[in-house]
Structure 1
Amino acid sequence: MNAQTKIVPGAPSAEARIARYDWGALAAELDGQGCAVLDALLTPEECRDIAALYPEEAHFRSHVVMARHGFGRGEYRYFRYPLPKLLGGLRAALYPRLAIVANDWNQRMGIGQRYPETHAAFIEQCHAAGQTRPTPLLLQYGPGDYNCLHQDLYGELAFPLQVAILLSEPGRDFTGGEFVLTEQRPRMQSRAEVVPLRQGDAVAFAVHNRPVQGTKGSYRVNLRHGVSRLRSGRRHTLGIIFHDAT
C-alpha cells in the first residue's frame, strides 16, 4: 500500500481543514483546560486507511511494545520520513496555529524559547540540535491495553503542544480506552480531564507545562497524558508530535 495515496479524491487539503476551525475559541480552550477538541478532522474512510498502515513495516522506523519498557500495555510504531502525504500536510498546517499559542505560553511562563512561523523552519532547528528522527506515530491497543501517564519530549528542543487523532469508533470498534490528561498544580492534588472523542476527532493538548493565571501572575503547571484500559475491541490512534527526536 502506497502511503502517498492516503488522501481521498476530492477531500479538502490539510490547510483547508485546519482553516475551518475557530482558532480563537480553541486557543481559549487550551488556555483554560490544557486541551481542545477539533471535531471531525478526518473522515471515517481516512481513519480506516491510516489505521490499515499499521502492519506495513515499510512505513515505519521503529516498533515499540509498551510492556517491555514499563509504558503500559499496547504498542506503537514511529513513522519514517517521508511521512504519508496527509500526515505531513496536517503536521505542517496545524503547527502555525499552535505556535501562536506556544509562543504566548512561553512568554507568560518566562521561557525564552520562541517558535518560528513555519514547521519547516522549526524542523531545521531540531535537526541542527541533533534531533533528526521523525516522531509522528501510530498506536494500537487491544483488550486490557492502556498507556501510562507520560510526556513526549524526546530531546532538549520540544514543542509544547501535540495532537492525537482517534482513528477508531468508540462503542463500535472498542470500549473503554478514554484519552486522559492530568494536571499537577503546585501544592494541590492532581486534576484529571477525560476527553470524549469520536472517530476522526483530534485533541490538541499540552505536552509538558502550561501557564495558569494566579494572584501574582502566571505560574507553570505540569501535565501528563495517557489512555485508560481498553475493555474490548481494538483502538488505533494517530499521534502528531511536532519536534523530532534524538
Structure 2
Amino acid sequence: MTGCEGEALEVVQSQAAREFAQLWRLGQEIKVESTPRGWDGHVLSVTGPGFAHGDLRLRLVGDYQPSNAALAVAAAHLLDDVPEDAIREGLASTRWPGRLQVIAEGPRVVLDGGHNPAAMVKAGAALRRLIGSEKLVAVFAMLSERDPVQLLGALRTLSPDAVVFTEPASAHGHAISAETLASVYGPGANVARPARTALDQARGLAGASGNVLVCGSLYLVGEVLSLTDLRVST
C-alpha cells in the first residue's frame, strides 16, 4: 500500500511485481474524496478493495491529511476486519500535536513541526488557504544540521508579514544563531530570545486579529507547546 507518486511509485510498483505482491495505490485502488471544513478539518469518503466509508470526520487541518487518513483506513482493512464504528471513532479522535495545531486565539497561534522544505511549503500553503490575507507573523528556528537557504526559501513561500528568529534552549547549542538566520532572511526579520520572548513579540506584531506560526524546528514547537499559560483553543 502506498501514497507515492512519480519515480517513487515506479520503484514501489517494480518491487511489488518482483515479489508478486498485491499493491494498493492511493488514487487508484484507494480513493478519497474530501470536503474541507476550515479549522474543523474535513469530511471524507474513502473507498478501496472490499470497503467503502462515507461521512467520515477528520479533525486534522491541512489538505494533505485526507490522503493520510485514506491510507490509514486502507491499512486497517489490510490488517484486520475493522468495524465501521472503529474507523469512524479512530479518525474523529485523531490528534497530531505540532502539525498545524492551534493552541491559542487572539492572535491565533499555530504550531507546525515540519522541518524540511517540502513539509514547510505544504503546511504553509494549507495555512494560507485557511487564513487568506490575514496578517501572519512567523516564529522560526532551525538546527545547524539543515540548510538555512533552502528552509528559509520555503518560509518565504508563506509570505509572512514579519519573522521573529530565535533559538530553542532544548537544542543545546545545535541551533543556528538567530542573528545568522535574520541576516540570511533579510527585510522583515527580527531577533528575540528565549522562545517565550520571541512568541510574545510575534503576538504583538500580529495583533489580536492576526496569526502567529511557530515553525522550523520540533524543538521550538515543543518548547512553545509546553507554555501552559497560553489560552488553549478547543
Sort the TM-score into its range (normalised by shorter chain). Answer: under 0.3
Greater fraction helix: 2
What TM-score do you get using the length of structure 2 for normalisation? 0.25
